[in-house]
Homo-oligomer: A and B are copies of this chain.
């Protein structure tokens, strides 16, 4: 094998993602392939020697899904960053896995097209990583998650397909298709545990014809904001995005970036509306007011609206500047958002933890972020207690332990709590069938 990286500093930097406190091992080496053929070669080489293979993109994951295990080969796909083709006539694009989400967005915008999935990491995270975790984002409420845009995948696999290193094309290039089981769907969100993605064909939408409207509502508490979220659904409104930011998040961003944000309220809701006309924006502002907002208004200043959504995207790194952050990713039925937010407040008080919350509130997907100062072992233990209590509360409300970040390492115990033994056994059986040697990203999900 050519070009195995063994520099300890480089290997260390490639050994984990951004999940705080998720364990990681010491890899054997790393490779940075540039083609499907090279990936195939690496997989075959590793399989012969029974070396575990840990694929990674930009390493922006928050569950430890890209963390190395001892003796693993890191497959860093960031150099496979070519946009293979944009097919405007069919509204599809085909990319290598290392293409950055925002780079794809920009490229297709040049053809009057739009790739909607927009995780907050979109300036850095890759399409391969997005597909592997089935990444969500801000506009999922109306436009769905990554898997709603995955049409076809090329992957390097082993197991029933043949020798490890076999290249397969899964899924399709057409809008619809039901020829055989949906293996492209099964691979989406499988966190590299079935094989290594080497090419991805996504569906695109026509670009939006006008700038979306932004409505901001300020609330005296996060629970009150949660009530407004539930009221939006009851009113039959479907914003493109409906985000919640609490005061801690707003202040952290403002102290770092000086965007001119005012944090006079305990929580802000940001709604983005993209149907033509102002009717929907007016309706959302009215619902906010009726639900008890301190104030609510349609933003007439585009720069201000941009700054608010920028604040939302920057919340995670802004908090991380202040302290290590243990990020939650629960999703509950929308109607349970107020109750879940109240529960988070009680859990924070019980453990004496500081919890800042951002949320894709319209989806019921909440990111309570538990802060614990570096080196403060007591705070860290408290944070871990709060983390587990939040997962249990979400499950009790009919929710899930991970809405969009993936199981990785951090949610393995929570997943075992959420799924029945029978369903876990089905999951394990599918993993063992598609990767009988257990070489693809071992220890993640159910591996």
| A interface residues (Cβ-Cβ under 8 A, vs B) | 87-92, 112-113, 133-134, 136, 140-141, 144-145, 147-148, 157, 159-162, 166, 168-170, 172-183, 185-186, 188-190, 205-207, 230, 233-234, 236-238, 275-277, 279, 331-335, 360, 363-365, 398-407, 411, 414-415, 418-420, 422-434, 445-446
Contacts and interface: CB of A to CB of B under 8 A. Distances in A.
Contact of A186 (B88, B182, B419, B420): B182
B174 A332 contact: yes
Contact of A415 (B179, B183, B207, B420): B179
B140 A175 contact: yes
Given A159-B426, A276-B276, A178 B238 contact: no
Contacts of A207: 236
A189 B428 CA distance: 21
A363 B189 CA distance: 26
Question: Closest 6 A-B residue pairs measured CB to CB?
Answer: A160-B429, A89-B335, A206-B236, A161-B422, A177-B400, A176-B403
28 contacts: A87-B335, A90-B233, A90-B334, A112-B236, A113-B236, A134-B182, A140-B175, A147-B182, A157-B422, A161-B423, A169-B423, A172-B331, A174-B331, A174-B403, A176-B403, A177-B400, A177-B403, A178-B400, A178-B403, A178-B405, A179-B400, A179-B401, A179-B402, A180-B423, A181-B190, A181-B445, A182-B186, A429-B434
Of residues A89, A144, A166, A434, which shows the largest number of chain B Cβ atoms within 10 Å of its Cβ?
Answer: A89
Given A91-B334, A168-B422, A179-B418, 4 more contacts: A175-B365, A178-B405, A186-B186, A277-B277
A166 B136 CA distance: 32
A331 B400 contact: no
Nearest to A429: B160
A378 to B, nearest CB: 30
A406 B181 CA distance: 10
A363 to B, nearest CB: 4
Nearest to A114: B236
Contacts of A425: 160-162
B334 A89 contact: yes
A159 B432 CA distance: 14
Of residues A92, A113, A168, A404, which shows the largest number of chain B Cβ atoms within 10 Å of its Cβ?
Answer: A168
A47 to B, nearest CB: 15
Of residues A88, A147, A205, A331, which shows the largest number of chain B Cβ atoms within 10 Å of its Cβ?
Answer: A331
A364 B178 contact: no
Given A168-B426, A181-B427, A186-B186, A173 B140 contact: no
Given A89-B334, A399-B174, A238 B426 contact: no
B89 A178 contact: no
Contacts of A426: 157, 159-161, 168, 183, 434
A360 B87 CA distance: 20
Contacts of A275: 275-276
A365 B402 contact: no
Given A161-B425, A238-B206, A426-B161, A181 B173 contact: no
Contacts of A140: 175-176
A181 B192 CA distance: 11
A53 to B, nearest CB: 18
Of residues A180, A398, A418, A423, which shows the largest number of chain B Cβ atoms within 10 Å of its Cβ?
Answer: A180
Contacts of A360: 176
A179 B433 contact: no
A380 to B, nearest CB: 25
